[in-house]
Structure 1
Amino acid sequence: LSPQKVSCYSLLNTISGEKAEALQSLRAASLQQATGHFAKAKKLLEHAFKLDPDNIDVLIALGEAIESSYYYRKSTPHVALPLTKSLIPVYGQVPNNDADGLILTAEHLYTKALIVDPTISKACVHREHLMPIVEEIDQRILNAIDFKVRQFYHIPEGDPGLRRAKVEHYFKHVYHSNAIEGNTLTLAQTRSILETRLAVGGKSLLEQNEVLGMDSALRYINNTLLRGDLTAITLDNILELHRRLLSFVDLREAGRLRRSQVYIADHQPPPPSSVPDLMSELISWLSSDEIADMHPIELAALTHWKLVFIHPFYDGNGRTVRLLMNLILMRSGLPPAIIKIEDRFTYYELLKTANDGDVRPFIRFIGKFLCNSIF
């Protein structure tokens, strides 16, 4: 056998072994539940989920275990949760509210089971039962953010602390968006380039030019797209954002839709021949009645996800998408949501979850970072 074939066989054996171990953990969890050892059962189910995250029986059983802990938490709020919460940071995104995080996680697991197989009636029944609670939680999250924004606007515009915070926020916006894409400049180096327009030692000019490109695109937003009559966002606006973003790096591709197929982890974007029509559909959607009553955070997050899915450019998609998302937020009077480099893994994981069929965890994720952006 060639080394490549041996490697493939080893991978298949590993996958098969993980699925078998997941089933063993599922059976062991069932035995633990039957004897009243719910905490041990939950840990076994979480282990099974990590081994085989698309196993419908595991998804439903784990959802039921988490849902049970939600009702336990609601009935005994003074008692610490007896079950671990390792899934909540990924799917809950509800800071300081364990019970809400649990129910959002359970509902997501039922949704994922239905994505794998839409005919699973048990998952459908569970999900329909939880949806009113989930919708109430999501609305409460948005209301809390709206309240925090209103409090923020009570700060006088001339407040020196506010001015300093806005400047620092700008530097972080540029730094984190570039860092997510692999730029190795530090926040201090990014700040130095923006303040002095001079190169820093020991770093490539390409990375430093990426800072200037982000700055140029943000200036276009602040000086043009947020001034005067706020007309509907156009394809030309998006192309101009991209042109400015890459203007110091790649003039040949700057401001142009891709003309070749690209490949990214966990997602194959549409062929280049489909991109113009898909972009036209996105622009039409952005001015349609469908979004009229949508909360700005939901609209911004959905636009972000849709544009990432299309992947309209050969390079610079992530930065352009985050710029467009924050343009939508700022046009609605909200601060930009800065996704930090430390949260890159969760960011990509939730985009994958959205591509798989459940976009709501990603919307909550964006809401969380917008909330964190309010000084």
Structure 2
Amino acid sequence: MKLTKFDVLLYIEGGIKSREALTSIIKENIKFENASERTINACVRMLKKDKFIIEKNRELRINKSHRKTDDCLAFIHRTKTKDMDYNLLLNKNVVLVFKEISDGGSDMKSLSERTALSKPSLLKIIDVLSKNNFICLEKKKPFHITANLNDITFFYINFCEFSLENFEKRFKIQKFQKIHSKGLTEKMIKLHTYSTTVTEGNTATENDVEKLFGNYPVNLTPREITEILNTRKAVELLYEIRNEEIEMIKIKDIHKILMFNLLNSAGEFCYKRKRIIGSEINPPESGEKIESGINALLNFIKNYESEINPVILACILHFIFVTIHPFADGNGRMARLLHSWIYLRNNLPLFVFDPNRKFEYFETLEMGRKKNIDDFVAFCDKSMHEVLNEIAENSKKQTK
């Protein structure tokens, strides 16, 4: 197997600090036993040129100040959790073909013209992309190919800096009612609190939330009461910082409030094995994997916030965050707050859906990991409109 700069990057991330140690440990790997010192040094030079690593006083280290470093590592880590060949997927021709497909090239003729690749070469690459769930072949003859947006292609698109314009065209997003009244804001805070806590198993009713907000007694467990009151406080903080840059430290601050007296490690990432109930995926465990994933997600927001519809951006943020699953508990509630943060930055209401549809919510999340996030985006969009339409109808009835 040919050694690549991406292989070497993982060794350096793993703590190998000198060229001598790097050469020694790489040659211990049976896959790379024939790699020469010259090849290894060439890989190091390429990584330095890409600004992925820094070499100072003969010590090699990851360059965390360069945004693309986390974007690259996040993609590689994600492929490894799914036993994918990151080197194959980062081959320049594979990258080129996926880009053309994501830009709208949906048949063999247009792909051949735009990539200048032969039909046999194209078919091999299409087979690779299909087997790794990067694309969907909707018809065998004639080929009609669409690019998937899921938990692996997200990191790929982000690292390679592809446009999401054609992904956005797949969704018919309706305009939401913008926040113009204090009454709507208060109503949505109560509904978000009810929706997000009940989705996670809280037995409260909308009336219970209303009573708790008014300091009236309710027939709920102490934990359920704490979950509701914590969520309200977390939402209040979200309103205070809604126009600020979304940063890792702020995510931790919100989580600390959200899980106060519910989780000993509130506000801290969990670097242990975790499991998402009802999902086949394995969330990242190590600090390197979790933090590179979150940093890549934050980089994505900076890159694409001005490019795509905030409703779609919020869904992507929600989906990827809950897939990374950085905390020991409260990841779903935190993901829905981050979804709401994007909405609030665009003067839209908090994200809400009917918790009686929570199984559909979890199913569409899982479908996003198995295929693409189309159903999840559609669910979020439709659910918000249903809630807002119901509020509008009730308001009309009350004014009659």
TM-score (norm 1): 0.58
Distance in 2 (CA, whole Å) between partners of 1:191 and 1:128 is 49
Q: Check the 8 A contact 1:212/1:248 in 2, yes or no.
A: no
Asked if 1:236 corresponds to 2:254, the answer is no
Could you say which residue in structure 2 is the equivalent of 1:259? Answer: 271
Query: Which residue, out of 301, 309, 315, partners 2:329?
Result: 315
Residue 290 of structure 2 is matched in structure 1 by 275
TM-score, normalization: structure 2? 0.54
CA contact (8 A) 2:317 2:339 kept: yes
Contact 2:314 2:340 in 1 (8 A): yes
Q: SS of the counterpart of 2:269?
A: coil
How far the C-alpha of 1:211 sits from its partner, in A, is 0.6
- What amino acid does structure 1 have at the position aligned with 2:369? N
Distance of aligned partners of 1:127 and 1:330 in 2 relative to their CA distance in 1, 3 Å threshold = farther
Change (3 A) 1:372 1:138: farther
Measure, in 2, the Cα distance between the counterparts of 1:285 and 1:257: 20
Which residue of 319, 322, 334 corresponds with 1:305?
319
Change (3 A) 1:185 1:358: same
Partner of 2:299: 284
Shift of 1:371: 2.3
**Structure (1 or 2) with the greater helix fraction:** 1
**Matched residue of 1:365: which SS?**
helix
* Amino-acid identity (%): 22
- Does the 8 A contact of 1:308 with 1:318 survive in 2? yes
Alignment of 1:1-375 (within 5 A): 122-123=139-140, 125=142, 127-128=144-145, 138=170, 141-142=172-173, 145-146=174-175, 149=177, 157=180, 163-196=182-215, 198-201=216-219, 203-222=220-239, 224-226=240-242, 230-250=243-263, 252-264=264-276, 265-266=278-279, 267-273=281-287, 274-288=289-303, 290-374=304-388, 375=392
Q: Tell me by how many angstroms 1:114 deviates.
A: 7.2
Do the aligned partners of 1:213 and 1:248 also contact (CA within 8 Å) in 2?
A: no
Structure with the largest fraction of strand: 2
Q: How many residues were matched structurally?
A: 241
Q: 1:363: Cα distance to partner?
A: 1.3
CA distance in 2, matches of 1:129, 1:205: 49
Per the TM alignment, residue 206 of structure 1 is displaced from its structure 2 partner at its CA by: 0.6
SS class of match (2:214): helix
Measure the CA separation in 1 of the matches of 2:308 and 2:212.
38
Once the two structures are superposed, residues 138-194 of structure 1 have per-residue CA deviations (whole angstroms, 9 ceiling, x without a partner) of: 45x22xx22x53xx67xxx5xxxx544443322111011000000011211111111
RMSD (CA atoms) = 3.0
Is the Cα–Cα contact under 8 Å of residues 177 and 340 in structure 1 kept in the other structure?
no
Contact 1:337 1:373 in 2 (8 A): no
